[in-house]
Amino acid sequence: MPDLKTLLVTAQAQGSLAMILLFAAVVLVTLGVSALLRPNPAHRRLARRCATVGQTSLSEIERGSFWNGVMARLERRVGLDKNERSKLRVKMMRAGFLGTKAARNFYVTRIVLGFGLPALWLVSLPVISREIEFEFVLLGAAMVAGVGLYAPALWLALRTSSYQDAITDSFPDALDMMMVCVEAGLGLDAAFDRVGRQIARAHPELSLQYGLVSLELRAGKGREDALRNLGQRVGLEEVQSFVSLLIQSDRLGTSIAQTLRVYSDEMRVKRALRAEEKAHKLPVKLSIPLVTFILPSMLAVVMLPAVIIVIRVLLPALGGQPS
């Protein structure tokens, strides 16, 4: 039977090994994230030259880096169905990720987190405690694996909602500017480019979408296709209705300026109605923290004197003891 000194040396060796493995895992994750976020200098210069709107994301430019090669190999291993790839691509565009590798990176990130977090959990167990039941180990591994698989999807849904809300709030202002530009004599193509430049600082999300429409039109794509792509990228009912309205006006030869004036008035009314709806929902939402936090405190303050009287007077009297 090994003595106490041998057990202590073994425990220290296991703890040191666990710390080394944990440190190595953290370093690898940090290097991978830094490689993903660090742009190539040549691509950075290309992005500056191609920036026709106020803000251009480097993720829209293909980067043949080591990290992309690793992601491509992982993608070939795990595989993605063509329909699932298309649906995920649309989801990523509606969250503001317009690069061609965004869907692949998201899918592979879920796989890496799904396997990497349980591995980190198992490696860190000797550091946390040396006496853990096997059932607890399996339960913890399953929980962190679920977090790794579903947390990116939840984050993508929140990012999509935030991105679409920003476009919804800025859309009436952009329509007003487009109406002014068209009435001043600019064509619809030039109006997209001009408005995209002007709202770049205040509304970068919509500015990027308008800039992409302008780039597609300059590249020779038809106006109808460019507008339909705008509606598909954004995924909002207001934008899709706007696209359909412009396409019909272009086909029938009606006044674009009058169409924009009517639709911008409608969008301003809808924005005011959304603000009123949020204001009417506020009392209902406030009732939850009131009932949860403030009401128990008020009940405790009101009932405390009565409880003290009951304890000091009634209970001794009922028990036959003098107060």
pLDDT confidence of residue 195: 92
Whether residue 196 is predicted with pLDDT greater than 70 in this model: the reply is yes
Query: DSSP letters of 118-146?
Result: HHHHHHHHHHH-S---HHHHHHHHHHHHH
pLDDT band at 53 (very low <50, low <70, confident <90, very high): very low
Q: Which domain holds residue 237?
A: 166-273
- Taking the C-alpha atoms of residue 4 and residue 2, their distance in angstroms, rounded to an integer, is 7
The per-residue pLDDT for range 56-85, each reduced to its tens digit, is 444 444 444 555 666 566 666 555 667 777
- Please tell me whether residues 195 and 154 are part of one structural domain: no
- Please tell me whether residues 155 and 13 are part of one structural domain: yes
- Taking the C-alpha atoms of residue 283 and residue 266, their distance in angstroms, rounded to an integer, is 27
- Please tell me whether residues 94 and 176 are part of one structural domain: no
Region of poorest pLDDT, from 103-112, 143-152, 168-177: 103-112
pLDDT confidence of residue 163: 92
The whole-number average pLDDT for the span 116-126 is 79
- Taking the C-alpha atoms of residue 88 and residue 157, their distance in angstroms, rounded to an integer, is 12
How many domains does the chain divide into? 2
Question: Among the three residues 273, 292, 309, which one is the final residue of a domain in this structure?
Answer: 273
pLDDT band at 162 (very low <50, low <70, confident <90, very high): very high
The per-residue pLDDT for range 124-149, each reduced to its tens digit, is 777 666 666 777 778 888 888 888 88
pLDDT confidence of residue 265: 87
Percentage above 70 pLDDT, the chain: 72
- The answer to whether the Cα torsion of 228, 231, 235, 238 is positive or negative is negative
The whole-number average pLDDT for the span 153-181 is 90
- Please tell me whether residues 208 and 149 are part of one structural domain: no
The whole-number average pLDDT for the span 103-114 is 82
The per-residue pLDDT for range 12-49, each reduced to its tens digit, is 655 566 566 666 666 665 655 555 445 545 445 444 54
Question: Among the three residues 161, 182, 203, which one is the final residue of a domain in this structure?
Answer: 161
- Please tell me whether residues 74 and 140 are part of one structural domain: yes
Query: DSSP letters of 209-247?
Result: HHHHHHHHHHTT--HHHHHHHHHHHH--HHHHHHHHHHH
Do the domain assignments include residue 88? yes
Return the higher-pLDDT residue of 148 and 323: 148
The CB density around residue 146, as the number of other CB atoms within 10 Å, is: 13
Q: What stretch of H or E contains 13?
A: helix 4-37
DSSP 8-class letter at 61: S
- Please tell me whether residues 261 and 222 are part of one structural domain: yes
Do the domain assignments include residue 307? no
pLDDT band at 210 (very low <50, low <70, confident <90, very high): very high
Return the higher-pLDDT residue of 306 and 81: 306
Return the higher-pLDDT residue of 165 and 43: 165
- Please tell me whether residues 26 and 126 are part of one structural domain: yes
What backbone phi and psi angles, to 5 degrees, belong to 56? -125, 125
Whether residue 226 is predicted with pLDDT greater than 80 in this model: the reply is yes
DSSP 8-class letter at 38: P
The residue among 57, 152, 164, 70 whose CA lies nearest residue 100 is 57
Do the domain assignments include residue 252? yes
- Please tell me whether residues 151 and 30 are part of one structural domain: yes
Query: DSSP letters of 255-311?
Result: -HHHHHHHHHHHHHHHHHHHHHHHHHHHHHHHHHHIIIIIHHHHHHHHHHHHHHHII
Question: Among the three residues 112, 130, 161, which one is the final residue of a domain in this structure?
Answer: 161
- Please tell me whether residues 112 and 236 are part of one structural domain: no
Return the higher-pLDDT residue of 272 and 135: 272
Percentage above 90 pLDDT, the chain: 8
Q: Considering the chain, what is the average pLDDT of its residues?
A: 77
Do the domain assignments include residue 204? yes
pLDDT confidence of residue 30: 65
